Structure 1
Amino acid sequence: MSQMPDDTAADEPIHEPRLWRDNGWTARVIKNNDDDGWAVEMIRQGEPEPALVGPWTMGRDKKSPKPLDTSAFNTLVKTAHEVVRRHEQAQQALWHKELSVMTDTGRVKVTLDITPDEDDPYATLAAFDAEGGTIDSVRVAANFKLNAGSAEAWIAQGYGRPR
């Protein structure tokens, strides 16, 4: 099995039967730890962990893996990119909440953006008018629950630090 090349050649394409690197992605066919089969891992350049690990097809001899080729690599890149995109969307949904409430002065959009800092996680609660202008923003605990009631209470108290 091929060893991963050193970082000095990280941009150079590699097209080997069990190792392909091109366009910012590396596909490596590896022995499947769970059985006698093979798996393929897709790693995006610069990332420490694979974005995708999945089963890989056996070759004709039913012992060694089918070699990687251009078509398979392109399909793996497309699949891995989609997995990364869905993960990023899920992270964004987890760290950003948004809702609108009606007030006497019109619609106010309220957002909560969580900063998941390892030592000091926090969130920013912000209010925006109908034109997108900032009305106010305040730092709150990362576990602040944004819902229609908490947003309305924050607006009713004149913004500032929520109670």
Structure 2
Amino acid sequence: MTTSDPAPDLAETESPETIHEPRLWRDNGWTARVLKNEDDDGWAVAMIKDGEPEPALVGPWTMGRDKKNPKPLDTAAFNTLVKTASEVLRRHEQQLHALLHKSVAITVGGERITVTLDIVPDEFEPHALLAAQDAAGDPLAQVRVGAGFKLNAASASAWAEGGYGRPG
């Protein structure tokens, strides 16, 4: 697919130039671009973090006074959009972290043990690392398991009580 957009590829540009135009605002590592909403007569704004191929946020944009053209971007609107888009990215990162990193605390032989499961989403060999630490944070064991391994108190206890071998 070819595109006639003369804008430089932001992923390749080290520090994109600052732009403050009514429909394009680039500053502080972010680009806001006001676009025609293809679904209706309205407008949308896309917030793209420098170096990222996809927008972090796309949302409706306010019409101008003439009810035909979009309201121009300004400093206050841009700063609000940056804050909102940053929050969206932060929540996405937290959700991804929660999906890939699990932890459960168990007691084995009177000792408190923390068992963690860290999923490695490798394209060719997805797997996970199952690890145990004592109450002081010292490592007790680590084994590679399938990415679909289910970590819960029962599976962690069985693994620890079985001597930290490769779970079945």
- State the TM-score, normalizing by the size of structure 1: 0.95
The correspondence of residues 17-32 of structure 1 with structure 2, limited to 5 A, is 17-32=22-37
Q: 1:161 to 1:109 in 2, by over 3 A?
A: same
- How many Å separate the matches in 2 of 1:84 and 1:5? 23
Identify which of 114, 132, 138 aligns with 1:133: 138
- How many Å separate the matches in 1 of 2:14 and 2:155? 53
Aligned to 2:46: 41
Once the two structures are TM-superposed, the CA of residue 43 in structure 1 deviates from its matched residue by 0.3
Once the two structures are TM-superposed, the CA of residue 144 in structure 1 deviates from its matched residue by 0.2
Once the two structures are TM-superposed, the CA of residue 90 in structure 1 deviates from its matched residue by 0.1
Tell me, yes or no, if structure 1 residue 4 matches structure 2 residue 7: yes
- How many Å separate the matches in 2 of 1:116 and 1:46? 22
CA displacement, residues 62-108 of structure 1 (integer Å, 9 cap, x when unaligned): 00000000000000000000000000000000000001001114100
Of all paired residues, the percent bearing the same amino acid is 68
C-alpha RMSD of the superposition: 1.4
Any unmatched runs of 5+ in structure 2?
none
Aligned length: 162
Tell me, yes or no, if structure 1 residue 68 matches structure 2 residue 73: yes
- How many Å separate the matches in 1 of 2:161 and 2:104? 16
CA displacement, residues 107-161 of structure 1 (integer Å, 9 cap, x when unaligned): 0000000001111100000000000010000000000000011000000110020
- How many Å separate the matches in 1 of 2:14 and 2:163? 58
Aligned to 1:157: 162
**Which amino acid in the other structure matches residue 105 of structure 2?**
S
Aligned to 1:101: 106
Identify which of 143, 151, 155 aligns with 2:148: 143
The correspondence of residues 86-125 of structure 1 with structure 2, limited to 5 A, is 86-125=91-130
Aligned partner of residue 146 in structure 1, secondary structure: coil
- State the TM-score, normalizing by the size of structure 2: 0.93
Aligned partner of residue 58 in structure 1, secondary structure: coil
- How many Å separate the matches in 1 of 2:9 and 2:88? 26
Aligned partner of residue 110 in structure 1, secondary structure: strand
Any unmatched runs of 5+ in structure 1?
none
- How many Å separate the matches in 2 of 1:94 and 1:121? 14
Aligned to 1:54: 59
**Which amino acid in the other structure matches residue 114 of structure 1?**
I
Once the two structures are TM-superposed, the CA of residue 4 in structure 1 deviates from its matched residue by 2.6
